[in-house]
Amino acid sequence: MPYNKLSPSPEVKPRFFYGDIIVILGFLCMMVAAGLWDSFGIFIKPLLGDFGWNRATVSSSYSLSLLIFGLMGVIAGGLTDKFGPRLVLTFCGLFLGAGYLLMSQLTSLWHLFLFEGVLLGIGMSGLYAPLLGMVARWFAIRRGLMTGVVLAGLGIGQLVAPPVISRLIDIYDWRNTYLFLGITVLVVIVVSTQFLKRDPSEVGQSPYGADEIKQPAFEPSIQAYSLPEAAHTWQLWTMLFLKLCFGYYMFSFLVHIVPHATDLGISQVDAANILAISGGGVVIGNFVLGRAVDKIGPRKIFIICFAAAMAAILWLIQARELWTLYLAALIIGLANGGNMTSDSPMGARLFGLKSIGSIVGASSGAFSVGGALGPVITGFIFDSSGSYQLAFFIAAAFCVAGIILAATLRPTGRMETGL
């Protein structure tokens, strides 16, 4: 096996590679946190029924959560580069748990924006950039695959959480459901993060496969970029706008597909299963396209996935039966999985590992801006017209923009890796 310790004696081999533990813990944290967060659409109609708000207003709280996720994600990525992931993710787990517990006590609109928008946004900021940046440090080869495994937690979360949450709401109401979610987050995430390590040197190992390749991304003092240096390249800004397009279409779908399906006469449980099927697509996309990232590069995967998402969103405009919604959800899930898996490897190939946490954090910030715009604009269009048709056309247009941006990406001057 290619695992090697940072030791002058080649005979001494570790019994196991701690990077495998890192991937398992990252998968678990992503499954719980992202699975619950992405299920917000299931709560929209119960909240509308109890408080009489409109869809744009309720969606705006989630958009605020996404904006704070993006802003704090840049900060969380930088703090992870400096202090390591354990401290960052512990605090974020506490914010997540507190947000869900307080949502069970919701009584007014400002509560919704504080608990859902602010607390959950801060909590989620410590998941994406710190975890993916950490995985990039642990694996010199198979980085795309291991990133895909961690992100598969998001897909598994989307697969499991929506039907479970929908059932809990039916049995116990939405307030008790939020209480249960808060306890789950505190137990799973806060405990899991105590075993995270920033990089292999903390346990006397080196990145998986580092002895097999010579890669510029592993020479940070010579070639890799800091975030300020990367900000002077057009490649970073292209990557950020690409992620904005991804966030726009993805969260427009995640937040509004359940209300859209129930508007068509589909039951709440079946509508929640649409999210579950999308989550299953994410899992497949993470594994299959994660391997493809290592073989053909992240740029081509972005192009393929944006094209698939565009076709599925246009399909949604005329879809009326449950199976047609399931098909669209599966394709969008596959595309989401591929796009997510390509993010960290793209950052590492373009800019190296010197500030990978900060760069992935900046990418997450752009993603969250798109994600914040998507749900609120989609909700506003529905409130104004009584239909999602125009909103879906706009989401498809963002997919076209993503294809164009990915097609224009080229390697940076210092890094000699292909895209």
Which tokens go with 159? 């697969």
Instruction: Tell me the mean pLDDT in the region 326-335.
Output: 95
User: What is the pLDDT, as a whole number, of residue 394?
Assistant: 97
Q: Confidence class of residue 51 from pLDDT cuts 50, 70 and 90?
A: very high
In this predicted model, what pLDDT tens digit does every residue of 148-205 receive, in sequence order?
788 788 888 988 999 999 999 999 999 999 999 999 999 999 999 999 888 888 888 8
The residues facing 51 across adjacent strands are none
Residue 213 pLDDT > 60, yes or no?
Answer: no
Cα R_g (the chain), whole angstroms: 21
What is the SS3 assignment for 219? coil
Instruction: Tell me the mean pLDDT in the region 294-320.
Output: 93
In this predicted model, what pLDDT tens digit does every residue of 227-258 receive, in sequence order?
888 899 999 999 999 999 999 999 999 999 99
- Helix (H) or strand (E) holding 117, with range, is none
Interatomic CA distance for residues 241 and 329, integer angstroms: 24
Higher pLDDT, 348 or 369: 369
Residues 334-360: b if buried by 16+ CB within 10 A, e if exposed: bbbbbbbbbbbbbbbbbbbbbbbbbbb
Instruction: Tell me the mean pLDDT in the region 55-83.
Output: 85
User: What is the pLDDT, as a whole number, of residue 415?
Assistant: 64
DSSP codes joined into one string, 315-352: HHHH--SHHHHHHHHHHHHHHHHHHHHHHHHHHHHHH-
What is the SS3 assignment for 262? helix
Report all structural domains of the chain as residue ranges with CATH numbers, in order of start: 18-199+225-408 (1.20.1250.20)
Percent of the chain with pLDDT over 90: 53
In this predicted model, what pLDDT tens digit does every residue of 340-359 receive, in sequence order?
888 878 888 888 877 777 78
Counting every residue written for the chain, the total comes to: 419
Which tokens go with 44? 């929209």
Mean pLDDT (the chain, rounded): 87
**All residues at 6 or more sequence positions from 178 whose CB lies less than 8 Å from its CB, including other chains:** 100, 101, 103, 104, 106
DSSP codes joined into one string, 13-64: --SS-HHHHHHHHHHHHHHHHHHHHTTTHHHHHHHHHHH---HHHHHHHHHH
Residue 124 pLDDT > 60, yes or no?
Answer: yes
Percent of the chain with pLDDT over 70: 92
Higher pLDDT, 354 or 389: 389
- Looking at this protein, which amino acid is placed at residue 362? A
User: What is the pLDDT, as a whole number, of residue 417?
Assistant: 64
